[in-house]
Amino acid sequence: MSEKLKLVSQVQAINWNRIQDDKDVDVWNRLVNNFWLPEKVPLSNDVQSWATLTPEEQQLTMRVFAGLTLLDTVQATVGAVSLIPDAITPHEEAVLTNIAFMESVHAKSYSSIFSTLASTKEIDEAFRWSTENVNLQRKASIVTDYYRGDDPLKRKVASTLLESFLFYSGFYLPMYWSSRAKLTNTADLIRLIIRDEAVHGYYIGYKFQRGLESATPERRQEIKDYTFELLFELYENEVQYTHDLYDSVGLAEDVKKFLHYNANKALMNLGYEAMFPSSVTDVSPAILSALSPNADENHDFFSGSGSSYVIGKAVNTEDEDWDF
């Protein structure tokens, strides 16, 4: 690497007994409690299921995971690290090192999936595809350019869009297989990654909003315009990438709904209003319930079909019971 590495200008011993922002402690604790390693997931139980996929479906799956590996590698070695010099508190720096490491765990876990399910030749072919696919390379380079830029707020926007939007063309597929009772252990592993990315997107988006608080109205407008321009640029590229991957299996349209749904959440993590209307975010219910069994609207009193809602049995409540 020829460019000069940007580092925090001055380092002081970090004192966790003097906290400026409680969110740093909350998120640190949450990340530590959520820590996991791919070795804990019994991926080998998916070997039989893998054999039921057609060669085209296997190739698609390999490519999706190779693409996700690239994004996690970018986030681990460039993205999260590039945010450290911009940190407002020393504890934020520490949280970002945790995020960077976890992204490396994510990147490595795809290799665990590969080595469990595929041959060396197939693995090499998937990685070669990832270096040759124009749209995948473009999305990595768009984000990386902003990481290398000199605007801390824009870096956080790029990072949040990566964590909360760019992964989801890939995450769709294991949720799809899971909804059809295929590769269910692989899906369990991906759900752990999905959960981590939610904490990362929430935290970086939160720090972005804190940084924006002291900005002038003009500067706020500039950042908002930039955010939506970047989102559109990434979105257009993402649609093409989705077609590259999913046209062969006829899933591209539902994947695009999933993209819209997650783009909304990325914007909300940055404190902006959701942009895509529900008519284009109505992802197939099977995918949503593969993501979260609670996502089914029929559990809700307002949105469910009234009759399906049953009030639970009364719980006798004493003050001592409120010990969560």
**Using an 8 Å Cβ cutoff, are 281 and 288 in contact?**
no
Instruction: Return the axis-axis angle of helices 134-148 and 152-161, rounded to nearest 10°.
Output: 150
Examine residue 292 and tell whether it contacts another protein (CB under 8 A).
yes
For the segment 181-210, give every residue that binds another protein (CB under 8 A). Answer: 191, 194-195, 197-198, 202, 206, 209
Examine residue 301 and tell whether it contacts another protein (CB under 8 A).
yes
User: Would the annotation count 72 as a binding residue?
Assistant: yes
Q: What gap in Å lies between CA 64 and CA 246, rounded to an integer? A: 10
153 Cβ contact list (under 8 Å, min separation 6): 208, 211, 212, 215, 223
From 57-65, 66-74, 76-84, 268-276, span contacting another protein (CB under 8 A): 268-276
Judged by CB under 8 A, the number of residues near another protein is 48
Examine residue 224 and tell whether it contacts another protein (CB under 8 A).
no
**Where is 175: in which H helix or E strand?**
helix 168-179
Examine residue 137 and tell whether it contacts another protein (CB under 8 A).
no
Q: What tokens were used for 274? A: 């959701």
**Using an 8 Å Cβ cutoff, are 237 and 134 in contact?**
no
Choose between 35 and 232: whose C-beta lies nearer to another protein: 35
Choose between 3 and 319: whose C-beta lies nearer to another protein: 319
218 Cβ contact list (under 8 Å, min separation 6): none
Examine residue 260 and tell whether it contacts another protein (CB under 8 A).
no
Give, as one character, the DSSP assignment of residue 88. S
Q: Which of 23, 63, 139, 154 touches another protein (CB under 8 A)?
A: 23
| Interface map 54-93 toward another protein (x if CB under 8 A) | ----------------------------------------
User: Would the annotation count 253 as a binding residue?
Assistant: no
Q: What gap in Å lies between CA 160 and CA 140, rounded to an integer? A: 14
Is 241 among the residues known to form the active site?
Answer: no
Where is the binding site, in residues?
A: 72, 103, 106, 163, 197, 200
State the catalytic residues: 110
